[in-house]
Amino acid sequence: MKSHGYKNMFEKVIETARKAGRATLEYYSQEIEVETKSDDSPLTKADLAAHEIIIAGLKEIDPDTPVISEEGGLPGYEERKNWNKFWIADPLDGTKEFIKKNGEFTINIALIEDGEPVFGVVYVPAKEITYYGSKENGSFKQEGDAEPVRIYSDKADTNIPLTVVKSRSHGSSDLQDKLKEQGITIKEAIPAGSSIKFCLVAEGKADLYPRMGPTMEWDVAAGDCVYRNSAKEGQHSSPLKYNKPDLKNEGFIIGL
């Protein structure tokens, strides 16, 4: 990937994520109407508004690259298996946090090339914080209109007690026991919503993000990219894979 060929496009994608985020805030201040999808997960008008903005934005920015969105139809694997490049988006990650109005929801957009996220943006609308990372340029955090700051993380040292970040809405009561089986001792567990968990590890505020339950690729791609490219040299490895037949991830640990 040539960074100079992508830089302008990535800036436009970041602005698209912010535009989608601003649209969600229009619903955030109102009484939130919630529907239930076929998998029992919640859906709001904000999810759909952000989806429309992201799809339109990516079509204008990069019309030749296919897009997968949580709120769009999923193309079959026979069609997808030969894709070497595609965008994947979660228009509103952390809908449960949005409904609770705790501010911990995000807009996630990532570009996958050859099974790897090469660019990702995680925007936190309620806090006006943008995290983004690319394979060529590393990972950054931007608060409001301030200058972006490069963020770094180290691989966790499992010989010492560690700070872990855990899901606020999908917690595992036996998290500590499961980590202990892998020789990991918890010093502190920080609850957080949505892809913010990846970003807390990427900026060094937490050592590990263990996820025991399933997720989908659109949930993790942008945050995973920010984490991978927060290494001080090269990239961190990640257990996550992309463009699988069903797009479903089993449990994983980020930070090892």
CATH of the domain at 49: 3.30.540.10
Tell me the per-residue pLDDT of 158-192, one tens digit each, with 9 for 90 and over: 999 999 999 876 656 678 888 999 999 999 999 99
Residue 106, helix vs strand vs coil: strand
The pLDDT of residue 38 is: 75
Domain housing 115: 3-151
Are 220 and 238 spatial neighbours (Cβ–Cβ below 8 Å)? Answer: no
Residues in the chain: 256
Q: Is residue 156 part of a domain?
A: no
Which of 109, 131, 151 represents a domain boundary (last residue)? 151
Same domain, 48 and 102: yes
Which of 125, 151, 177 represents a domain boundary (last residue)? 151
Q: Which parts of the chain have pLDDT scores under 50?
A: 1-3
Amino acid letter for position 233: E
Q: Is residue 157 part of a domain?
A: no
Give me the sign of the Cα torsion angle 197, 9, 218, 113.
negative
Burial class (CB in 10 A: 0-12, 13-18, 19+), 230: buried
Same domain, 14 and 70: yes
pTM of the model: 0.94
The pLDDT of residue 170 is: 65
The pLDDT of residue 171 is: 58
Tell me the per-residue pLDDT of 1-40, one tens digit each, with 9 for 90 and over: 444 568 899 999 999 999 999 999 999 988 888 888 877 7
Give me the sign of the Cα torsion angle 201, 139, 67, 43.
positive
- Per the structure, the count of domains in the chain is 2
The pLDDT of residue 5 is: 60
The pLDDT of residue 33 is: 85
The pLDDT of residue 150 is: 98
The pLDDT of residue 32 is: 85
CA distance 124 to 92: 10
Same domain, 82 and 52: yes
Q: Which two tokens stand for residue 218?
A: 């659109």
The pLDDT of residue 2 is: 47
Same domain, 210 and 96: no
Same domain, 112 and 167: no
The pLDDT of residue 1 is: 42
Pick from 78, 254, 74: which is nearest to 179 by CA? 254
CA distance 153 to 151: 7
The pLDDT of residue 192 is: 95
